[in-house]
């Protein structure tokens, strides 16, 4: 069964995050697994969150002091690989992060078991840049991405993940997707803007996207912020929450193994 593994520890010394930390998280997971074959596997058998430092999800720029609480989170499509990862973490007892070592204090394993819910209203926090590849309606040389947190994008991604996990079949997926785009609407949304010291913060007004800066100069942009949704028709409400639990475990959108598309889902009354 698929599982989410969260590793928590304390940094031995201070360190500076100077690239998108999701890439760093992926590198740490691959190093701990020590399986060379996984480096070239596409798609990756796991997704990651960006690093969480002192309770805050960090992206491209962050300064962590000595003793900072660090959280590394990875969701594995294969429960067997999750167990291997957990064992390797426990054996190592620590992992390298930039110029610091993180002493492992706790390893939490949560099996991914889609749970039903009863609330028709919910909020999704998009914790890292999130983007959704659009269908190739016309021939194109490069992918085109939609960054809107629409119900269509959100649930299409969750359904694809559920199908990869073997939780649903194509017939059910089509039925639920039709229900979702007809029944779920966005009530409100807001943005989390990155600010840079020395720059005019007025330039960030209304800006709903942020850049994930990778090594080599590559930049991936996506939506960051939150959105509140409501299902106005409730015949598939329990199924909706099952898909949302999958989305929260594995993220949504493209480039999730690099830490994009990390989300947190909350019930609302």
Co-location of 76 and 102 in the same domain:
yes
The two structure tokens encoding residue 172: 């059910």
The two structure tokens encoding residue 125: 């926090």
* Rounded Cα–Cα distance for residues 197 and 130 (Å): 24
Q: Give 40 or 263, the one with higher predicted confidence.
A: 263
CB 107 within 8 A of CB 101: no
Co-location of 103 and 172 in the same domain:
no
The confidence band for 137, taking pLDDT boundaries of 50, 70 and 90, is low
Co-location of 35 and 134 in the same domain:
no
* Rounded Cα–Cα distance for residues 254 and 269 (Å): 30
Provide the percentage of residues in the chain whose pLDDT is more than 70. 94
- In this predicted structure, the answer to whether residue 203 has a pLDDT above a threshold of 60 is no
Co-location of 128 and 259 in the same domain:
yes
Whether residue 116 is contained in a domain is answered as: no
- In this predicted structure, the answer to whether residue 195 has a pLDDT above a threshold of 60 is no
Question: pLDDT tens digits, residue range 152-184?
Answer: 999 999 999 999 999 999 999 999 999 999 999
CB neighbour list of residue 22: distance below 8 Å, 6 or more residues apart? 48, 49, 50, 51, 128, 212, 258, 259, 260, 262
Co-location of 251 and 137 in the same domain:
yes
Pick the last residue of a domain from 88, 111, 134: 111
Number of structural domains the chain divides into: 2
Pick the last residue of a domain from 56, 83, 111: 111
The pLDDT mean for the chain works out to: 91
Work out the average pLDDT over 210-227. 90
Work out the average pLDDT over 5-30. 95
> Which residue range forms the structural domain that includes residue 256?
121-268
The two structure tokens encoding residue 29: 């997971």
């Amino acid at each position: 069964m698929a599982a989410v593994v969260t590793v928590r520890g304390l940094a031995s010394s201070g360190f500076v995050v100077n690239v998108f930390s999701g890439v760093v998280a992926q590198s740490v997971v691959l190093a701990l697994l020590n399986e060379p074959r996984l480096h070239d596997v596409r798609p990756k058998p796991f997704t990651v969150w960006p690093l969480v430092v002192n309770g805050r999800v960090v992206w491209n720029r962050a300064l962590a002091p000595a003793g900072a609480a660090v959280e590394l989170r990875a969701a594995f499509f294969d429960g067997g690989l999750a167990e291997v990862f957990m064992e390797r973490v426990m054996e190592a007892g620590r992992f390298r992060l930039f110029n610091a070592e993180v002493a492992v204090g706790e390893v939490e394993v949560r099996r991914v078991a889609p749970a039903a819910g009863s609330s028709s209203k919910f909020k999704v926090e998009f914790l890292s840049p999130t983007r959704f590849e659009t269908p190739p309606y016309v021939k194109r040389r490069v992918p085109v991405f939609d960054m809107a947190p629409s119900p269509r994008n959100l649930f299409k991604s969750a359904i694809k993940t559920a199908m990869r996990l073997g939780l649903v079949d194509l017939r059910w997926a089509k039925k639920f997707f039709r229900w979702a785009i007809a029944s779920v609407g966005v009530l409100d949304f807001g943005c989390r803007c990155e600010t840079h010291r020395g720059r005019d913060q007025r330039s960030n007004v209304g800006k709903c996207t942020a850049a994930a800066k990778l090594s080599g100069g590559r930049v991936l942009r996506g939506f960051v912020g939150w959105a509140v949704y409501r299902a106005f028709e409730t015949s598939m409400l329990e199924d909706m929450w099952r898909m949302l639990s999958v989305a929260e475990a594995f993220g949504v959108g493209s480039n999730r193994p690099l830490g994009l598309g990390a989300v947190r889902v909350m019930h609302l009354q």
